[in-house]
A and B are shown apart, each in its own frame.
Chain A
Amino acid sequence: MANEEMEQLVSSEYKQGFVTDIESYTLPPGLDEDVIRYISSKKEEPQWLLDWRLEAFALWKEMHDPQAWANIEYPKIDYQAVSYYSAPGAKDKNAPKSLDEVDPKLLETFEKLGIPLHERAALAGVRGVAVDAVFDSVSVGTTFKKELAEAGVIFCSISEAVQNHPELVKKYLGTVVSKTDNFYAALNAAVFTDGSFVFVPKGVTCPMELSTYFRINAANTGQFERTLIICEEGAQVSYLEGCTAPMRDENQLHAAVVELVALDDAYIKYSTVQNWYPGDEEGLGGIYNFVTKRGDCRGDRSKISWTQVETGSAITWKYPSCILRGKDSVGEFYSVAVTNNFQQADTGTKMIHLGEGSRSTIISKGISAGRSNQSYRGLVKILPSAKNARNFTQCDSLLLGDKCGAHTFPYQEIGNASAQVEHEATTSKIGEDQLFYCMQRGISEEDSVNMIVNGFCKDVFQELPMEFAVEAEALLNVSLEGAVG
């Protein structure tokens, strides 16, 4: 099939691109200590946390952004032109105490996105999923809190956790991703505004899926959320996150940090469907998604599993990673990344093996279309202490058309001769033969492409919780609408 036809097939439509017209208080652009003090005081934070932020800020000023090594290109970001805090509601208004106090317009926004926050509606909709909804810099509500509390699970915004569970926050915050980990992690530590906090105590299996929905609304505003999930000994949780933003011509910055801690025999499953606005067909606008996600398998036999479906953002820079500290701990990374038009992605994972008998699996599926450019970057590091560690890596790239790029940068550092490390990689153009075969059976070109691409991603979709798997497949189809030939 001709490449022009392929391109026509991949033109996509972004359905979450609307703007909510709501009164909000947004700090003027700029970043200095006063801004950090403002954010901290707005959230009534304890002194230690303010000090922590200020330290991070001081260190950040000495750091450089990662453009030097990542395979992405963007104009230099003026961090003084970004606003670091925006909250729905008037300046002096306090955060709503319950869902009843939440501005109906906000509830409407989330409803429009398919995320009902009224529990009755929520019950009728996505059954058995508790949701924390974050709008710009603040959490607007968390559902099913009571039910979760009965099981002993804490699920709230991180701001609330700082108020109500300061000892837990203090104990774990920054212990997986230190505030000096990298440029964006330091920036996040200085200015993070909201995000989710999950604590599952010893022996408890969280009775429902937890989910956070991030929405950027305000223009010219950065979103810096911070999520912290802790599973004590033998505890289990499955957590999902979704993200969308309005269509705007300017690029917007999103720099999140996610920290996971799994103690002995704990299991954390973290799934992401990332659909930030990717920019238009000409590459104008879109979110810069610079995210640091890391899980610490601190305990023996602990397991952390990352599953991500990345279809949005103008630029994605993220490497959800696992530190496999515990003996026989397990790290998994399953990823589908789709780039179209002018999107760029440099994404992958790091598996750092310290524990004896630790195992990791990496399955990465990259699909590039249009003029997009995508890189898989993955590190498998086996330290001398990790006797009999094992890793299996498979990364496959699928190219749609002849103007896109796919690159693979695997790094392996093996410090122990007993380790077993396997790496498989393939790059293929979407098979003209496969397309022709399906179409010769009467299936339209677009349906054929969707079928083949979904088949290509099957190994990863299987890992998603059921509700998300369906959404992910649909999202993939929309992202590639008009994309092939």
Chain B
Amino acid sequence: MIEIKDLHAKVEGKPILKGLSLSIKPGEVHAIMGPNGSGKSTLSAVLAGRSDYEVTSGSVTFFGKDLFEMSVEERACAGLMLAFQYPVEIPGVKNVYLLKAALNAQRKARGEPEIEAPTFMKLVREKLKFMKIDNSFLHRAVNEGFSGGEKKRNEILQMLILEPKLVLLDEIDSGLDIDALKVVSEGVNSLRDAGRSFLMITHYQRLLDYIEPDFVHVLSDGQIIKTGDKSLALELEDRGYDWVVEETA
């Protein structure tokens, strides 16, 4: 699904990713862990196409296409979705409006007609219920005045409606209490299937109890230095990152 080869990227002239390679196949769930400043969030920003990140070398193919030849919205329409760590507030724009505009933009890109209003509302209500979100939420402005938990639920709600192929979950667990973490994880797990992949970025092993990864990678200084299964995460929880860094030095 996505093939990252020897990726180098800079932020404000400073190299952050220094030769990162990673391959994700359909149906797989990968977790990336690593100390602060190792480049975790940079990776998701580069893949989604933020303009303030400069790719200096390496390649990424998404469904066989050169990802860097695609605009931000083309990547989204091709099925790449970033669930943000800090979803931004957009005053005056209703949630329901953004959801519908996004869904229709993606349908249009696939050559499908716009979704009919009743069908859309039915879909949205069903997903709201699943995510334990009140209907009044639809008429609030996007993320405006939302608690941390509400913002994260909103990201997952969008995911349930847009049904992306590859989801980048950027610290989706930060700022969540246990109940909210459960709801968010259930949302993610409900979408797991053979055709869909996830890349989770997290600091904590806790998230992996709820969303079980197939692979766990340790990112350090812009490179993946160790890969294992979920037992690696438990080990990291116990021993920290230093031993991995030393082991691979």
Q: Which residues of A contact B50 (CB under 8 A)?
A: 436
> A441 an interface residue at 8 Å Cβ cutoff?
yes
Q: Which residues of B contact A440 (CB under 8 A)?
A: 48-49, 72-73, 75-76, 81-82
A361 part of interface (Cβ distance < 8 Å): no
Most chain B beta carbons < 10 A, residue from A431, A437, A438, A442: A442
**B7 within 8 Å of A by Cβ?**
no
Contact B162 A455 (CB under 8 A): no
Q: Which residues of B contact A434 (CB under 8 A)?
A: 88-90
Within the complex, the shortest CB–CB distance from B99 to chain A, in Å, comes to 8
Q: Is residue A423 within 8 Å, beta carbon to beta carbon, of the partner chain?
A: no
Whether a CB of chain A sits under 8 angstroms from the CB of B63 is no
> Quick one: CB contact mask for A180-193 with B, threshold 8 Å, 1 for yes?
00000000000000
Q: Which residues of B have CB within 8 Å of A123?
A: none
Any chain B CB within 8 A of the CB of A443?
yes
Of B17-25, B102-110, B201-209, the one with at least 4 CB within 8 A of chain A: B102-110
How long is the Cα–Cα vector from A63 to B50 in the complex, in angstroms? 55
Q: Whose C-beta in chain B lies nearest to the C-beta of A460?
A: B92
A450-466 residues with Cβ-Cβ distance < 8 A to B are: 451-452, 454-459
With contact pairs A442-B109, A451-B97 given, residues A437 and B90 touching in the complex (Cβ less than 8 Å): yes
CB proximity to A under 8 Å, residues B76-97? 76-77, 81-82, 84, 87-93, 97
Q: How near does chain A come to B45, taking the closest CB pair, in angstroms? A: 9
What bracket does the count of chain A residues touching chain B fall in? Answer: 20 to 34
Q: For the complex, what is the distance from the CA of A447 to the CA of B76, rounded to whole Å? A: 15
- B158 within 8 Å of A (CB atoms): yes
A433 lies within 8 A of B88 (CB): yes
Looking across the interface, which residue of chain B has its beta carbon closest to that of A436?
A: B50
Whether a CB of chain A sits under 8 angstroms from the CB of B141 is: yes
Contacts of B141 in A (CB 8 A): 455
B88, A455: Cβ atoms closer than 8 Å: no
**Binary B-proximity of A413-454 (CB < 8 A = 1, otherwise 0):** 000000000000000000111101111111111010001101
Check if B98 is an interface residue, CB within 8 A of chain A. Answer: yes
A443 and B92 within 8 A (CB): no
Q: Is the CB of A444 within 8 A of B82?
A: no
Q: Please, which residues of chain A bring their CB within 8 A of the CB of B248?
A: none
Task: Determine if A2 is an interface residue (Cβ-Cβ < 8 Å).
Answer: yes
The answer to whether A442 and B90 have CB atoms under 8 Å apart is: no
- B101 at the A interface (CB under 8 A): yes
B51 at the interface (CB under 8 A from A): yes
Tell me whether A458 and B92 are in contact in the complex, defined as CB-CB below 8 angstroms, given that A441-B102, A447-B101 are known contacts: yes
Q: B101 contacts which chain A residues (CB < 8 A)? A: 438, 441, 443, 447, 451
- Residue interface mask B53-75, A partner, CB < 8 A = 1: 00000000000000000011101
**Are B93 and A441 in contact (CB-based, < 8 A)?**
no
Given contacts A2-B51, A436-B72, contact A441 B90 (CB under 8 A): no
Cα A447 to Cα B158 with chains together (Å): 18
Looking at the assembled complex, report how far the CB atom of B151 sits from the nearest CB atom of chain A, in whole angstroms: 11
Which A residues, 258 to 296, have Cβ-Cβ distances below 8 Å to chain B?
A: none
A1 interface contact, C-beta 8 A: yes
Query: In whole angstroms, what is the CA distance A458 to B141 when docked?
Result: 11
The CA-CA distance from A153 to B90 in the complex, in Å, is 44
Q: Hey, which chain A residues are within 8 Å of B51, CB to CB?
A: 1-2, 432, 436
Distance from B76 Cβ to chain A, minimum over Cβ atoms (Å):
4
Contacts of A432 in B (CB 8 A): 51-52
* Residue contact B73 to A431, C-beta cutoff 8 Å: no
Please give me the residue from chain B that is nearest to A365 by CB atom.
B92
B211 CB to nearest chain A CB (Å): 21
Residue contact A438 to B98, C-beta cutoff 8 Å: yes
Q: Are the CB atoms of B105 and A443 closer together than 8 Å? A: yes
Q: B48: shortest Cβ distance to chain A, in Å?
A: 6
With A436-B50, A437-B87, A451-B98 known as contacts, the answer to whether A445 contacts B93 (CB < 8 A) is no
User: Which chain B residues lie closer than 8 Å to A452 at the CB level?
Assistant: 90, 93
Chain A residues near B105 (CB, 8 Å)?
441-444, 447
Taking a contact as CB atoms under 8 Å apart, the answer to whether B76 and A459 are in contact is no
Shortest Cβ distance from B79 into A: residue: A442
Determine the distance from Cα of A454 to Cα of B88 in the docked complex, in whole angstroms.
Answer: 17
A453 to chain B: closest residue by CB: B92
Tell me the complex Cα distance, A62–B158, Å: 65
- Residues of A within 8 Å of B88, CB to CB, are 431, 433-434, 436-437
* A430 CB to nearest B CB, Å: 11
Q: What are the 3 closest A-B residue pairs judged by CB atoms, nearest first?
A: A455-B92, A458-B92, A455-B93
11 contacts between A and B (CB under 8 A): A434-B89, A438-B102, A441-B98, A441-B162, A442-B73, A451-B93, A455-B92, A455-B93, A458-B91, A458-B92, A459-B92
Binding site for A on B (CB under 8 A): 48-52, 71-73, 75-77, 81-82, 84, 87-93, 97-98, 101-102, 105-106, 109, 141, 158, 162
